[in-house]
Amino acid sequence: MKLGATLVLSLAFGSLTALAGKQIKGLSKNAQELFDIAMTYNDDGWDSIRGVTGAGSARATAWYAVGLLARNDGPDVAIARDIIEREIDAQYTVPGNPWYGTYKRTFEEPIPGTLQYPARIYNSYDPNWREFVGTAFIFAIEEYSNLLGKSLVDKMLVSLNHAVLGGLTRVGLDGDNLDLLYTNPALMRAFSTGWLGPTYYGIDMWALSLWSKYSPSDSNLAKYGPLMLSGLWDTMGEYYNSNLKNFAGPYDRTYGNDMTTYMAVIGLYQSCVTGKANAPLPPKLYASKHIDDWAQGHLIALTCDTALKYASSKAKSAMTKFTKPRYLERYIRSSETNDTRRPVTTWIEDWAMLGGESISETDHVRGDQFIPGLIQWSPKKGYISWIAWSQSANWLSGVVGNSSSGQPTLTLSYPNRTIPGTERFTLMTGGLPYVPGSNMTWPGFEGLPGIMLKVTTTGVDAPSTYFSNSVLHE
Ligand SMILES: *[C@@H]1O[C@H](CO)[C@@H](O)[C@H](O)[C@H]1NC(C)=O
Ligand SMILES: *[C@@H]1O[C@H](CO)[C@@H](O)[C@H](O)[C@H]1NC(C)=O
Ligand SMILES: *[C@@H]1O[C@H](CO)[C@@H](O)[C@H](O)[C@H]1NC(C)=O
Ligand SMILES: *[C@@H]1O[C@H](CO)[C@@H](O)[C@H](O)[C@H]1NC(C)=O
């Protein structure tokens, strides 16, 4: 790799930014910066003997192939073609199984559905890898078919066909009928329900960017992609707090509550607007939780200029400038067949945010990525602390008051006490700075650093508090 003038200059000015890589045609400066960091991550993770990156993940390896095609430096293309051949070989092509059309999670794993390797969704197979690998293939075919050659492109198309057919047969096979790529119900589902939570905004934006740029111009995807993209940017602009570099809660699904310490893919798209230094991303690659998502960083880099085309100037400006304290109220559709909606309320101050949502679902508790109530604040420069409500019952209510005058409040309640799980409230706090002399022992929420909270309860016993060093996801 040639070291260009950029590197020499940046050293002369004493800044240690990422290594200057090969300039990729058509990328903005911000996108190129991302591309280089992500490819550094993937190059460093590349095991040339086993032919994998991402600690053996076949998905990360498929993504890497796209980056190699884009870079096209030295052996890059040959490696990419080899990866794609192996990816195709690692696809389940026998119809009739729930894993039909998806790709192996690692190249060495056996076929699921045997005594050796019982079929378990998201464990011995992951149905979503059809879309994760499939979209990478589509992108590669659209942009680099000349490097791939006709015979490999043809094989990829056959593979995509299996992925799509497999995706369509998901209905009834594993109790879930999601299809990210091609069906209109999925498109409408994303339109109406998929907009809450920083972890999944990023995946939405990747899919929407592909729809907007590569689907046939007379298709619904081409029609709605740009509309949904600009809607997503506007929503992000409303819920983003550039002072705290975080989206306000609540979150339907998230991996963490502080984007400055855990890596969320949407932060990569934002960094195309703001440059990495001003984006909600951990400042350094290895000073980052959930670092694995850098495996797709170069895919974001390659599509973010498309995504950005549909961002309003107001939304872009909100990525760097805090406008004003605000109260937001939304209703999210929770059914595809009727107009049932869940209320979501949020208060955003320049230094703190509160969010709450209400649900009453009959079948299941959503799990630990669901944060129906959240308070975030900055106790100290560079820190975000938070209190997150964990769902224990499937009927609950988190409501933030409109605090345009008076103190912001978050009210948590169980409207129906006969529902299991309503015998407790579980709240988790984290991101607290070290306070010398405190023993880091907090008597309750009212003593937490950097915020003055007042807690009032009805029908709740004195709380018990404990510390865990092994919190999931963060
Ligand atoms: C709305 O649809 C959901 C299923 O998506 C169902 O559980 C619920 O009972 C329906 N509500 C009404 C008011 O029909
Ligand atoms: C919140 O309260 C302010 C002041 O009373 C009012 O102007 C604003 O419309 C309210 N916002 C919502 C979403 O209710
Ligand atoms: C509370 O939940 C129970 C169990 O689902 C249900 O039978 C009852 O009708 C609910 N009560 C109210 C007031 O909705
Ligand atoms: C910290 O722990 C020590 C030893 O148990 C105790 O004497 C001291 O009061 C504690 N300090 C605070 C602020 O809780």
Q: Express each pLDDT in 29-63 by its tens digit.
A: 999 999 999 999 999 999 999 999 999 999 999 99
> Which DSSP helix (H) or strand (E) runs through 373?
strand 373-377
Atom of ligand 1 nearest to the CA of 336: 5
Return the pLDDT at 280.
Answer: 96
pLDDT for 13 beyond 50? no
What does the pLDDT look like over 196-217, one tens digit per residue? 566 677 888 888 888 888 888 8
| Residue owning the nearest CA to atom 14 of ligand 4 | 438
pLDDT for 332 beyond 90? no
What does the pLDDT look like over 119-152, one tens digit per residue? 999 999 999 898 889 999 999 999 999 999 999 9
pTM of the model: 0.87
Three-state SS at 360: strand
Flag whether 473 is in a domain. no
CA of 381 to the centre of ligand 4 (A): 26
Nearest to 352 by CA among 316, 379, 314, 372: 379
62 and 126 belong to one structural domain? yes
CA of 169 to the centre of ligand 3 (A): 36
pLDDT band for 77, please (50, 70, 90 cuts). Answer: very high
Return the pLDDT at 198.
Answer: 64
70 and 9 belong to one structural domain? no
Tell me, what DSSP letter sits at residue 295?
G
Last residue of a domain, one of 218, 234, 258: 258
Tokens for 234, please give them: 């506007």
pLDDT for 352 beyond 60? yes
Return the pLDDT at 16.
Answer: 38
436 and 393 belong to one structural domain? yes
Pocket perturbation via mutation, ligand 4, pick of 434, 435, 438, 439 by most ligand atoms within 8 A of CB: 439
Last residue of a domain, one of 222, 240, 258: 258
115 and 241 belong to one structural domain? yes
What does the pLDDT look like over 267-316, one tens digit per residue? 999 999 999 999 999 999 888 888 999 999 999 999 999 999 999 999 99
Q: State which residues form the domain around 453.
A: 5-14+323-458
Ligand 4 pocket member 436 (CB < 6 A): no
| Residue owning the nearest CA to atom 14 of ligand 2 | 402
In which residue are the tokens 């224990």 written? 392
123: exposed, middle or buried (Cβ count in 10 Å: 0-12, 13-18, 19+): exposed
10 and 63 belong to one structural domain? no
Last residue of a domain, one of 258, 274, 294: 258
Atom of ligand 3 nearest to the CA of 395: 2
Ligand 1 pocket member 335 (CB < 6 A): yes
Return the pLDDT at 373.
Answer: 95
Closest ligand relative to 326 C-alpha:
2
205 and 342 belong to one structural domain? no
101 and 151 belong to one structural domain? yes
65 and 9 belong to one structural domain? no
Nearest to 297 by CA among 42, 16, 10: 42
Flag whether 284 is in a domain. no
Ligand 4 pocket member 438 (CB < 6 A): yes
What does the pLDDT look like over 382-395, one tens digit per residue? 999 999 999 888 88
Flag whether 433 is in a domain. yes
pLDDT band for 179, please (50, 70, 90 cuts). Answer: very low
* Other beta carbons within 10 Å of 433: 16
- Express the helix, strand and coil content of the chain in percent, nearest 5 each: 40, 15, 45
Ligand 1 pocket member 337 (CB < 6 A): yes
CA of 399 to the centre of ligand 2 (A): 15
Pocket perturbation via mutation, ligand 1, pick of 177, 188, 335 by most ligand atoms within 8 A of CB: 335
Number of domains in the chain: 2
Return the pLDDT at 2.
Answer: 39
Return the pLDDT at 334.
Answer: 73
Alpha helices in 290-389 (DSSP H): 297-309, 313-318
Return the pLDDT at 471.
Answer: 55
Ligand 4 pocket member 439 (CB < 6 A): yes
What does the pLDDT look like over 228-276, one tens digit per residue? 899 999 999 999 999 999 999 998 888 889 999 999 999 999 999 999 9
Flag whether 130 is in a domain. yes
Flag whether 56 is in a domain. yes
pLDDT for 10 beyond 80? no
Ligand 3 pocket member 418 (CB < 6 A): yes
337 and 254 belong to one structural domain? no
pLDDT band for 189, please (50, 70, 90 cuts). Answer: very low
Flag whether 392 is in a domain. yes
pLDDT band for 360, please (50, 70, 90 cuts). Answer: confident
pLDDT over 90 percentage in the chain: 60
| Mean pLDDT of the 72-99 span | 96
Return the pLDDT at 442.
Answer: 84
Tokens for 312, please give them: 């309003």
pLDDT for 336 beyond 80? no
Return the pLDDT at 197.
Answer: 61
116 and 251 belong to one structural domain? yes
pLDDT band for 364, please (50, 70, 90 cuts). Answer: low
Atom of ligand 1 nearest to the CA of 334: 5
Rg of the chain in Å (alpha carbons): 23
- 352 or 6, which is more confident? 352
pLDDT for 449 beyond 50? yes
Kindly report the three-state secondary structure assignment for every residue of 41-90: HHHHHCECCCCECHHHEHHHHHHHHHHHHHHCCCCHHHHHHHHHHHHHHC
pLDDT for 178 beyond 60? no
Return the pLDDT at 170.
Answer: 55
Nearest to 440 by CA among 466, 463, 462: 466
pLDDT for 180 beyond 50? no
Q: CA-CA distance, 114 to 20, in Å (whole number)?
A: 48
> Which DSSP helix (H) or strand (E) runs through 413?
strand 410-413
Flag whether 416 is in a domain. yes
Q: Which amino acid is at 170?
A: R
206 and 126 belong to one structural domain? yes
pLDDT band for 186, please (50, 70, 90 cuts). Answer: low
Flag whether 363 is in a domain. yes
250 and 360 belong to one structural domain? no
Return the pLDDT at 464.
Answer: 80
pLDDT over 70 percentage in the chain: 87
What's the whole-number average pLDDT of the chain?
85
